[in-house]
Structure 1
């Protein structure tokens, strides 16, 4: 358990470093975007502003998630991370909608602009820096098994692609395709909305105790291989932040002693922890019903 809390602190540290990079790049793009009259660069800056808000929310969520269980939160505060992510996605939806509105307004008004070429270097620098941060954070996230840091890393990768796209747009505008600036700004707004929708869907799924049926099927297949387990009767899974909690009912020989059945429950807990990184498993033992018609894994209850 202590390792889980330590990983949260390390993840929080790298999210803070990423947020500082976002602040620097957002300010740089806002200034250069205004001076160079680049709608695309300004839209890219808005994207980075949402990243700052996302980082702040996740930093606070990770801080709350590190609190130990108490009287009112017996499973801990792990879901604080998911709640912060959900709130962040709502902010991103508003910003993405604002960027799209401004872009459509510019297109309908037939507004054109030719950004100064020095804005190109800002886009290239930003794209390179963001991609380097993505590679680093993705590596750390996989090592720590941190879903929040991995989400930040993937969002950073999208920012890198957006910045490279901004650079291409600035080149096109200087080659006498000025209307492309508002069009690409519109696409960037769409990218912000797409990212917000994905984050919103995933966090809402987790907060409503949704769980991957494919994972449940893997758990069932593994537990059924344990000697003494006649069959998995029922299984439910739920997530608290990046942590998985499983409730499972297994059938054993009705003639088995309490001590023997207890040893089997320990094997189930150990297996799911070692093989699937399940944080907590609640195993309930029942006598084997030979007349039971087994259900397919995806028919078993999951939350």
Structure 2
């Protein structure tokens, strides 16, 4: 349990990194976008400004998830980080709609000013910074198995791509295509909405106890191979923050005593932790009659 809390605490470092980076880059993009007449860079800066709020939501969710179990939350508060990711998706979607609206209205302006090249180089610089932040956060998310941090990392990556798109639009406008800048802003808006949808889909899937069937079959295969397990009667799993909770019903030789059956459950728990990084496994044992064969030999079941 202590290791789980330590992992979540590490995730907070990634959230703080995103917050600080977004504050600096959003101020830079909005300022240069305004003075250089770049709609794409301004849209990108607005996106980063609201990403600050989304990153704060992730940070708060991680902080809450570190709270120990209490009488109302026997499983702990780990799902708070999934809720934070869901909130972040709503914020990102609202920003995407706003960016789309502003870019669309730009086409009704009689004269679209060509942005300065300083906006293009600013976009490239910001793209490099955000991609580095993405690399850090995605490694951290995989290490601590955090959905909230993975959502933050996906947001970082989309921001890097958005800045590259802004660069392309700004450069294109230098060649007599000023309308390419608001076109790029539209693409930026769609990318923001797509990222928000992906995070929303993953978060709601986890909150409604969804679990990848292929991974569940792999878990079932691991349990079936444990010595003494004669049959896997049922297996279920769900996501709880950065944890995976597994409920399994197994059939064992009805001639085994309580101590021998308990040894099998400990073996299952150890293998789940070693192979799948699952520390919480609830195991129910059903006694069944088995045919007499070398595979089902009672001596083997006791190993």
Same fold (TM over 0.5): yes
- 1:12 and 1:218 map into 2 onto residues whose CA distance is 31
Shift of 1:74: 0.2
Counterpart residue number, 2:241: 241
- Normalising by the residue count of structure 2, what TM-score does the alignment of the two structures yield? 0.92
- 2:201 and 2:157 map into 1 onto residues whose CA distance is 20
Counterpart residue number, 1:186: 186
Q: Deviations over 1:97-138 (max 9, x none)?
A: 111112222224555221112112211110111112222222
- 1:153 and 1:289 map into 2 onto residues whose CA distance is 51
> Aligned ranges for residues 47-66 of structure 1 at < 5 Å?
47-66=47-66
Q: Unpaired runs of 5+ in structure 1?
A: 292-303
Matched residue SS, 1:255: coil
> Aligned ranges for residues 83-162 of structure 1 at < 5 Å?
83-109=83-109, 112-162=112-162
- 2:194 and 2:4 map into 1 onto residues whose CA distance is 31
Shift of 1:154: 2.5
Matched residue SS, 2:107: helix
* Structure 1 residue 212 corresponds to structure 2 residue 217: no
Shift of 1:150: 3.0
Does structure 2 conserve the Cα–Cα contact (< 8 Å) formed by 1:103 and 1:185? yes
Matched residue SS, 2:239: strand
Runs of 4+ in 1 over 6 A off after TM superposition: none
Shift of 1:289: 6.4
Does structure 2 conserve the Cα–Cα contact (< 8 Å) formed by 1:126 and 1:160? yes
Counterpart residue number, 2:12: 12
Does structure 1 conserve the Cα–Cα contact (< 8 Å) formed by 2:144 and 2:242? no
Tell me the matched-pair count.
291
Q: Unpaired runs of 5+ in structure 2?
A: 292-303
Counterpart residue number, 2:232: 232
- 2:244 and 2:238 map into 1 onto residues whose CA distance is 6
- 2:104 and 2:91 map into 1 onto residues whose CA distance is 20
Q: Deviations over 1:238-266 (max 9, x none)?
A: 11111000010001111111111111111
Q: Deviations over 1:146-186 (max 9, x none)?
A: 33323322321221121122112111111111001111100
